[in-house]
Amino acid sequence: MDWSVIWSNHDLYLSGLWSTVLMSLAAIATATLLGLVVAAIRTSRIPVLSQVARAYLEVFRGTPLLIQMLFIYFGAAYLSGFGITVFGAALLALTLYQGAYIAEIFRAGIEAVPRGQWEAARVLGLPRTQTFVGVILPQTRAIVLPPLVGQYLSLIKDTSIAVVIGYVELVRQGQAVIDRVGSPATSYVAVAVLYFVICYPLSLLVRHMERKAVTA
């Protein structure tokens, strides 16, 4: 393998890496927020709304992210005539898809908090939202954090799917290098290594949290 190819194109890899990180951070923020809201609705047992939340979960966990992304990108283009930006479509699809999984992670955490916590807060006069944010959520940390960070890992890797709608991220830049100078094996190894560099610290974090959860 000719590793000099990597170095001479390092600006492409770095710009791809940056796009991947940017998309990951944005999607982590929006998917977490969506997951929280959906979990709050699911556990509130508000009649119609919780059924809608459930339907959302089934649809977005039951179909491939690839299809969702294509559907959102080309569907939006078809519906509105001018469409949605590539970044916007990829972010929306990642948010809806990952938000469904993250919602279930939060739900498991919320349901593990004893009912007495809600009741104590209620008799004290705390409004529901206040109770959720100030009393219940902080208690879900030990249960929620390890699988949540694990889900972030899969989200980061899922950003590569945005290639199909033309988002220029790490994988796409790796391919650009191949288009330019060949050496596909070398280039893909470089791409894989860069993913690993982002993900490995998070893996370590998950393992650390799981170990702490066991000994706690």
Partner 1 sequence: MMITDPAAQQTAVTTSRISLSGVHKRFGDLEVLKGVDVDVESGEVVVLIGASGSGKSTLLRIMCDLERADSGEVWVGGVPLHDRKRAPEIFGHVGMVFQQFNLFPHKTALGNVMLALLKVRKLGRAEAEERGRAALKRVGLDTKADSYPAQLSGGQQQRVAIARALAMDPAIMFFDEPTSALDPELVGEVTGVMRSLAEEGMTMVVVTHEMRFAKDTADRVIFMDGGVVLEQGPPERVFGSPAEARTQQFLHRVLDT
The minimum distance between CB 126 and partner 1, in angstroms, equals 6
Instruction: Label residue 87 exposed, middle or buried (CB < 10 Å: 0-12, 13-18, 19+).
Output: middle
50 near partner 1, rule: CB under 8 A: no
**Residues between 125 and 164 that touch partner 1 (CB under 8 A):** 125-130, 134-135, 138-139
The minimum distance between CB 12 and partner 1, in angstroms, equals 47
Q: Helix/strand/coil (H, E, C) string of 137-153?
A: HHHCHHHHHHHHHHHHH
Q: Running DSSP on this structure, what letter comes out for residue 37?
A: H
The minimum distance between CB 115 and partner 1, in angstroms, equals 9
The minimum distance between CB 136 and partner 1, in angstroms, equals 10
Give the H or E element holding residue 56.
helix 47-61
Q: Closest Cα to residue 132, out of 54, 49, 43?
A: 43
The only residue of 33, 55, 112, 124 in contact with partner 1, by rule CB under 8 A: 124
Tell me whether residue 124 or residue 204 sits nearer to partner 1 (CB atom).
124
The only residue of 10, 122, 180, 208 in contact with partner 1, by rule CB under 8 A: 122
Q: Tell me the window of 1-9, 17-25, 113-121, 197-205 that interacts with partner 1 (CB under 8 A).
A: 113-121
Tell me whether residue 125 or residue 201 sits nearer to partner 1 (CB atom).
125
| Tokens 């894989």, residue located | 192
Question: Total binding residues for partner 1 by CB under 8 A?
Answer: 19
Q: Closest Cα to residue 42, out of 83, 97, 103?
A: 103
Sequence-distant (6+) residues with CB within 8 A of 94 are 23, 27, 31, 65, 69, 155, 158, 159, 162
215 near partner 1, rule: CB under 8 A: no
Distance, C-alpha 211 to centroid of its chain: 23
Q: Please give the residue ranges that form the binding site for partner 1 (CB under 8 A).
A: 114, 116-117, 119-130, 134-135, 138-139
